[in-house]
Amino acid sequence: MKTLFERSVAGRHCSILPACDVPLKTPDHVRTAPLRLPELSETDISRHYTELAKQTFGVNDGFYPLGSCTMKYNPKINEEAASLAGFTEVHPSQDHVQGCLEVLATAEKYLCEITGMNAMTFQPAAGAHGELTGLMLIKRYHELRGDSARNKIIVPDSAHGTNPASSAMCGFTVVNIPSAEDGCVDLDKLREACGEDTAGLMLTNPNTLGIFDKHIREITDIVHEAGGLCYYDGANLNAVMGIARPGDMGFDCIHLNLHKSFSTPHGGGGPGSGPVGCKSFLEAYLPGEKIVFADGRYQLAERGEESIGAVRSFHGNFLVVVKAFTYLLTLGREGVPKVAQNAVLNANYLKHLLEGTYEVTNKGVCMHEFVLTLEREKKETGVSAMDIAKALQDYGMHPPTMYFPLNVHEALMVEPTETESKETLDAAAAAFLDIYEKAKADPEAMHHTPLHSPIGRPDEVKAARHPVLRYHFDD
Amino acid sequence: MGSYIPSTLKQQEEMLKEAGFSSLDDLYRDVPEDLKLRNALDLPEGLSELETAKRLRRLAAENKVYDSVFRGAGAYKHYIPAIVKSVVSKEEFVTAYTPYQAEISQGVLQSIFEYQTMICELTGMDVANASVYDGAVAAAEAISMCRSPKKKKVFVSGAVHPDTLKVIRTYCWAAGEEVCVLPVRDGKTDLSGLDNEGTCLYVQQPNYYGVIEDLKAISETAHGEGLTVIAGVEPFAMCLLETPAECGVDIAVGEGQPLGMPLSFGGPYLGFMAATAKLMRKLPGRIVGETEDAEGRRAFVLTLQAREQHIRREKASSNICSNEALCALTASVYLAAMGPEGMKEAALQCYSKAHYLAEGLEKAGLRRRYEADFFNEFVTDCDDPEALLAKLDEKGILGGLPVDNGILWCATEINSKEEMDALIREVAA
């Protein structure tokens, strides 16, 4: 469809501002370059974005089992709370913000209780940002102990790509360790990798295959004995919140994805919020200001000189925290474990419906997600994980995560979440099975799916070889 | 208690049975018993929606909302057209994930492509990414783009926002780089300490004190030392002043909050990043490109992914994954609603009103600290900032931010002459 720029008509405009009520002035050295923003009426704008919205699939459009992303329903009350003028019209450096500070302080308390941590910062704006922050805490810890040789972070091969990337940004060398046969951490390989240069380990539990690593205490002990710290990637917390806590598993610091486990929306790729929690011995290193309650009121206080400083301006993505806090108030102590249990139930139920037909990597019980492999089908018929994913679009659902984790060939990672009903799961299973039959009967046809979306598969090679990254005007 | 779980207890039992489990607890048979929480979490009982709504309204009411705001310092109050909120509340945009499946994400992909184009137009640069977390992180990420195996020094103007400097220091510390802060003279960056041993120079335009820097001269001097020039720019100022591209800047970044995002106690905000074509493959994060499908239909996709963490892992240009997509959409809708003339008019009003306010405050006894011209912020001397701000507070006015025994004031198109006159009267009284 047309871009905003192709809809533009010279001289057309909305009327937003009044005439200036003070004498107009201009600086020296004014801009001479043209400013080619679109010229549109409000009708044009409204229709343009309505059309774009129709070509965007959100959680509200249908089942969205995108593995590792926890695409649960985003409650409307959260949005309403975050749009209250008492939150949106508050300057980040003004006084009289008891409400804002109470939200942050209480959310910190609740999330620390859920994760088994002692303190938390809300400055990180997304999961990867949280990882970087957590690794900085680990770096600071070793640095202040004068343990400067510890420059390696151990990352299993099933980890999210952000784990090694965050480690590198933090100046660490990444040691990748292969997973054991069952997809869990290979304890021998871990022992071999640990040493005097180990700064820490990054792990998610349950892991990206949807398996709870039973040896988790042993794993964190091995790392601790070697002098390293353990970082918990909270991407998969939805499976265990209210059931087991990263703090009790031996993790020293964690990040959470409020836009995954705590129901705040993803916005097509953000804003998220990636708060970082830690045990007491790391608290002094946290970035940003801390909130203290003294003399009957909440106050912002500087952290000491040991703090890593700041990873973002002000207090992070505050309104996202408001949404997650609203969700926590709604769930309460019984709701949190119910969420986890039903997320795991839904995953196991859907896995059960598919495993007679598709090959599931995890033969036993899974946690909140499971991984299918199309390796055999790809070899025998040429039908790939991508083909199955694209075909699913024609059934009104969003495909699972493709080609992840990297240690599974032709992977499709399925995470239904707890906010989907049995009927939705039954219908999704029927779609998966129907596609499998079709793929057997006519493998070639699968390469041309989807058939009913606004466009067919885009030419990604062309996009990368001849990058067109902005609209080019004719002049 | 609410949990948004649609399955009834009866259905849950059916599903458990069907999948071979005896109970919900049985689902956790792989979790060692000694790791399971024995007692319920120490959280309050869950609330109904009605109770939750009341609680949040009460909390929101405990924050003060000012009738007039004359404070910027990194967060700016502008008028937000009604169409902006209406568009960005559309559920499809709000609830979608990163557009990995291009066929059913054309809307969000096209909106990012349009955003990238508008950021290029504002800054004059060749390419822009899909956004990063905020302006301070954009500055730190831009510095990361310049990283070199040989040089470990980074120059930063002393007249940048203190939060930005803090974030830069933290990122550079982690990467093993030294930050060399240049002094400020008469409100402007003093370049005399520059040398050719650094990778880049980061300056802010207008700077933290509101002063318009000689960006062209700064670029020339820094280029003379072989440094990459990064400018943190204010989006309205870009519509009035020479663009970063016209000034010879290599990477232009900034805080996009003024483009349609409310103050929100600091976030969500929007970090924008744009660069010359030469630096395209060093940009961090998502970038959307135009291509076509097999039938030749226009299509948009996430592209140049060989830079990114999910492909390159530890060799990626950055770890960024989620960015601020909905905020980028907000900025796009805002810019579309304002149009080129509206943006120029708003920029002119920001400039004119700030100058009107500065003159008025000067007459009321607050002398402007720096002679250099400014955009929409300026610093005045003030003997007792706390007392003055407290007096204004009582009248529902949020005065400027106290800085170095003075006050950093801000005016935008939203501040009427009447409001400014009222402020000036209070200051004079």
Range of the domain at B377: 68-79+339-428
Interface subset of A 151-180, CB within 8 angstroms of B: 160-162, 164-171, 174
pLDDT of A238 reads 98
Asked if the model's pLDDT at residue B315 lies above 90, the reply is no
Q: What is the CATH number of the domain that holds B72?
A: 3.90.1150.10
Condensed to tens digits (0 to 9), the pLDDT of residues A300-316 reads 999 999 999 999 999 99
Domain contains B4: no
Provide the CA B203 distance to its chain's centre, in angstroms: 16
**Contact criterion met (CB < 8 Å) for A59 and B96:** yes
Q: Give the count of beta carbons closer than 10 Å to the beta carbon of residue A431.
A: 17
Which tokens is B51 given? 């109770």
- The packing angle between helices A98-115 and B49-61, to 10°, is 130
Chain B contact for A418 (CB, 8 A cutoff):
yes
Judge contact between A103 and B264, C-beta under 8 A: no
| Burial grade of A36 (CB within 10 A; 0-12, 13-18, 19 or more) | middle
Enumerate the domain spans of chain A.
76-331, 334-461
A439 contact partners, CB below 8 Å, separation of at least 6: A377, A381, A383, A387, A388, A391, A446
Number of domains in chain B: 3
pLDDT of A475 reads 65
Same domain? B45 vs B151: no
SS3 A149: coil
What 8-state DSSP symbol labels residue B266? G
| B84: chain A residues, CB-CB within 8 Å | none
**Contact criterion met (CB < 8 Å) for A161 and B309:** yes
Q: What is the mean pLDDT of chain B?
A: 97
Q: What is the mean pLDDT of chain A?
A: 97
Domain contains B159: yes
Judge contact between A40 and B339, C-beta under 8 A: yes
Chain B contact for A467 (CB, 8 A cutoff):
yes
Residue A403 CA: distances (Å) to CA of A383, A384, A445: 14, 10, 21
Same domain? B173 vs B197: yes
DSSP E strand boundaries for B207-285: 228-233, 251-255, 271-275
Asked if the model's pLDDT at residue B317 lies above 90, the reply is no
| Conformation bin of residue A186: beta by default, left when phi > 0, alpha when psi is -120 to 50 | beta
Interface subset of A 55-114, CB within 8 angstroms of B: 55-61, 64, 66, 69, 71-75, 77, 79-81, 84-100, 102-103, 110, 113-114
Lowest mean pLDDT among A391-395, B147-151, B251-255: B147-151
Q: What is the CATH number of the domain that holds B180?
A: 3.40.640.10
Q: Closest approach of chain B CAs to the CA of A77, in angstroms?
A: 7
**Which residues sit opposite A154 in a β-bridge?**
A175, A201
Judge contact between B213 and B244, C-beta under 8 A: no
Q: Closest approach of chain A CAs to the CA of B247, in angstroms?
A: 10
pLDDT of A323 reads 98
Which tokens is A380 given? 């025998």
Locate tokens 């209250």: which residue? A84
ipTM comes to: 0.98
DSSP E strand boundaries for A275-361: 276-278, 290-294, 297-301, 359-360
Boundary of a domain, candidates B334, B365, B384: B334
pLDDT of A432 reads 98
Asked if the model's pLDDT at residue B10 lies above 90, the reply is yes
Provide the CA A74 distance to its chain's centre, in angstroms: 14
CA-to-CA distance for B259 and B122, rounded, in angstroms?
12
Asked if the model's pLDDT at residue B125 lies above 80, the reply is yes
Chain B contact for A390 (CB, 8 A cutoff):
yes
**Contact criterion met (CB < 8 Å) for B3 and A86:** no
CA-to-CA distance for A470 and B98, rounded, in angstroms?
19
CATH C-level class of A76-331: alpha beta
Judge contact between A99 and B59, C-beta under 8 A: yes
Same domain? B40 vs B146: no
**Which residues sit opposite B200 in a β-bridge?**
B154, B228
**Which residues sit opposite B229 in a β-bridge?**
B201
Q: Give the count of beta carbons closer than 10 Å to the beta carbon of residue B429.
A: 7
CA-to-CA distance for A441 and A374, rounded, in angstroms?
16
Same domain? B99 vs B206: yes
Q: Closest approach of chain A CAs to the CA of B254, in angstroms?
A: 12
Judge contact between B288 and A451, C-beta under 8 A: no
The shortest CB-CB distance from B243 to any of A14, A31, A90 is to A31
Same domain? B280 vs B400: no
**Contact criterion met (CB < 8 Å) for B98 and A266:** yes
Of A134, A261, A19, A433, nearest to B413 (Cα)? A19
Report, as an integer, the average pLDDT of A266-271.
97
Judge contact between B170 and A308, C-beta under 8 A: yes
pLDDT of A159 reads 87
What 8-state DSSP symbol labels residue A287? -
The shortest CB-CB distance from B325 to any of A80, A270, A318 is to A270
Chain B contact for A47 (CB, 8 A cutoff):
no
Domain contains B171: yes
**Contact criterion met (CB < 8 Å) for B311 and A161:** yes
Condensed to tens digits (0 to 9), the pLDDT of residues B370-422 reads 999 999 999 999 999 999 999 999 999 999 999 989 999 999 999 999 999 99
Same domain? B174 vs B306: yes
| Burial grade of B8 (CB within 10 A; 0-12, 13-18, 19 or more) | exposed
A405 cis-preceded (ω within 30 degrees of 0):
yes
CA-to-CA distance for B253 and B231, rounded, in angstroms?
6
| B47: chain A residues, CB-CB within 8 Å | 329-330, 332
Report, as an integer, the average pLDDT of A329-356.
97
Same domain? B227 vs B308: yes
Q: Closest approach of chain A CAs to the CA of B226, in angstroms?
A: 24
Residue of B nearest to A471 (CA): B117
Tell me the DSSP string of A160-203: -THHHHHHHHTTPEEEEEPBPTTSSB-HHHHHHH-STTEEEEEE
Residue B191 CA: distances (Å) to CA of A31, A379, B184: 24, 63, 9
Chain B contact for A318 (CB, 8 A cutoff):
yes
Q: Closest approach of chain B CAs to the CA of A379, in angstroms?
A: 23
Asked if the model's pLDDT at residue B351 lies above 70, the reply is yes
CA-to-CA distance for A164 and A171, rounded, in angstroms?
11
Domain contains B385: yes
CA-to-CA distance for A267 and A182, rounded, in angstroms?
35
Same domain? B74 vs B111: no
| A97: chain B residues, CB-CB within 8 Å | 63-64, 265
Q: Closest approach of chain B CAs to the CA of A26, in angstroms?
A: 7
A92 contact partners, CB below 8 Å, separation of at least 6: A313, A314, A315, A318, B74, B75, B263, B264, B265, B266, B267
pLDDT of A183 reads 86
Condensed to tens digits (0 to 9), the pLDDT of residues B250-309 reads 999 999 999 999 999 999 999 999 999 999 999 999 999 999 999 999 999 999 998 888
Same domain? B241 vs B138: yes
Boundary of a domain, candidates B267, B299, B334: B334
Judge contact between A162 and A119, C-beta under 8 A: no
CA-to-CA distance for A340 and A411, rounded, in angstroms?
24
Domain contains B379: yes
Chain B contact for A253 (CB, 8 A cutoff):
no
Asked if the model's pLDDT at residue B1 lies above 80, the reply is no
Which tokens is A195 given? 């040493």
| B171: chain A residues, CB-CB within 8 Å | 169, 311
| A22: chain B residues, CB-CB within 8 Å | 352-353, 356, 417, 420
Condensed to tens digits (0 to 9), the pLDDT of residues B190-214 reads 999 999 999 999 999 999 999 999 9
Same domain? B187 vs B225: yes
CA-to-CA distance for A96 and A103, rounded, in angstroms?
14
Judge contact between B70 and B411, C-beta under 8 A: yes
- The half-sphere exposure of B396 on its side-chain side, counting CA atoms within 13 A, is 6
H or E element, residue B203? strand B198-205
Q: Closest approach of chain A CAs to the CA of B105, in angstroms?
A: 4
> pLDDT confidence of B316, banded at 50, 70, 90?
confident
Boundary of a domain, candidates B302, B334, B366: B334
> pLDDT confidence of A340, banded at 50, 70, 90?
very high
| B1: chain A residues, CB-CB within 8 Å | 330-332, 334-335
Judge contact between A137 and B142, C-beta under 8 A: no
Report, as an integer, the average pLDDT of A245-272.
98
Which of B163, B322, B388 to mutate to probe the A interface, most A CBs <10 Å?
A: B322
CA-to-CA distance for B4 and A365, rounded, in angstroms?
24
**What percentage of chain A carries pLDDT values higher than 90?**
96
Which of A29, A60, A169 to mutate to probe the B interface, most B CBs <10 Å?
A: A169
CATH superfamily assigned to domain A334-461: Aspartate Aminotransferase, domain 1 (3.90.1150.10)
CA-to-CA distance for A312 and A129, rounded, in angstroms?
9
The shortest CB-CB distance from A458 to any of B69, B291, B312 is to B291
The shortest CB-CB distance from A459 to any of B7, B61, B293 is to B293
Which tokens is B53 given? 């709504």
Residue of B nearest to A5 (CA): B114
Domain contains B418: yes
Same domain? B75 vs B106: no
Tell me if the pTM is above 0.90.
yes
**Contact criterion met (CB < 8 Å) for A267 and B311:** no
DSSP E strand boundaries for B36-176: 68-69, 127-128, 153-157
Chain B contact for A297 (CB, 8 A cutoff):
no
Asked if the model's pLDDT at residue B326 lies above 70, the reply is yes
The shortest CB-CB distance from B52 to any of A84, A171, A326 is to A326
What 8-state DSSP symbol labels residue A456? -
Same domain? B298 vs B371: no
- The half-sphere exposure of A122 on its side-chain side, counting CA atoms within 13 A, is 31
Of A243, A184, A173, A181, nearest to A214 (Cα)? A184
Chain B contact for A132 (CB, 8 A cutoff):
yes
| Burial grade of A441 (CB within 10 A; 0-12, 13-18, 19 or more) | exposed
